[in-house]
Amino acid sequence: MMRKTLFLLFAALCGAMAASAQDLIVKRDSTKVEANVLEISTDVVRYKKYSYPGGPTYVVPVKELAYIRYANGETERYAVSVPATPLTPATPRQETAPGAKQYEIGDLYDANGVRGIVCQLSEDGTHGLAISLDEIYLPWSVFRKPDLRTVGTTDRSDGRVNMRIVEEYIAANGLSWDDFPAFKWCREKGEGWYLPAIDELLNIGHNYNGGSRASNNRKAHKFFNDRLKAAGGERMDRLVYYFSSTEADDRNAYTSHMNIEPPYVVEIQKYNKFLVRAVYAF
């Protein structure tokens, strides 16, 4: 009887140890996060907090990671990334081709009736995203229980894809853009404007902070905000989450903020009002 009791205690202990297995995410700034890693891509790692497995899914850029130690003891280390180019005064560089200007992050994009601040760029500086000068508090959609809906806007890298999916969903279900206030507001800015996808929002947040959130670059985000104000716009809010067009499930959409403190991505109920900014691809 004693031997059986010891065996049961040992089995329970092993089960508890297995249940407590966790991954450890270590960032370049030495921050440690006890987590359950869900997905690793070339750009980001998605995870849930170990202490709250039923909670939101968080996202951390790969370039901010030192290593991940998995529950099985294996360690995956990440190479040091090339430092981001610091922001420079908002003056377009010399043209490299007829009609093709090169821009810097923070420049005013003002062409063909479109005005916004450059927030993302291609390597040659001629193409990218401009973010709207204004922002607004709006819900992602108006649907609540028992009428929660999965729309299918799962694209993480291109909000234009998600805008088309919303348009198709509206047409197929006899709805209107009024049912999707955040999308409607972006759409009404004119052709080409859209609600950014979650990875686009993440890139905007990093560029807003000078290309990295490893440290607080006050000069960078002050420069960006000053450019917004100089163009007659509103400063970015660093403490409130912005809705992305990327859907998490029938209830939630992914959101991100501009601050340096993680988590950079959380799932927020679509029918709540949070900040919205539109972007324009040029």
Distance between CA atoms of residues 56 and 34, nearest Å: 14
Asked if residue 20 has pLDDT above 60, the reply is no
Distance CA(121)–CA(259), nearest Å, equals 20
Task: Please state which of the ranges 75-89, 114-128, 146-160, 268-282 shows the lowest mean pLDDT.
Answer: 75-89
- Look up the CATH architecture of domain 22-82: Roll (2.30)
What residue spans define the domains of the chain? Answer: 22-82, 93-281
With a cut of 70, say whether residue 4 has pLDDT above it. no
Q: Which amino acid is at 15?
A: G
Q: Which spans in the chain are helix H? A: 2-19, 159-173, 181-187, 198-208, 218-230
Q: What are the tens digits of pLDDT across the range 211-236?
A: 988 888 999 999 999 999 999 999 99
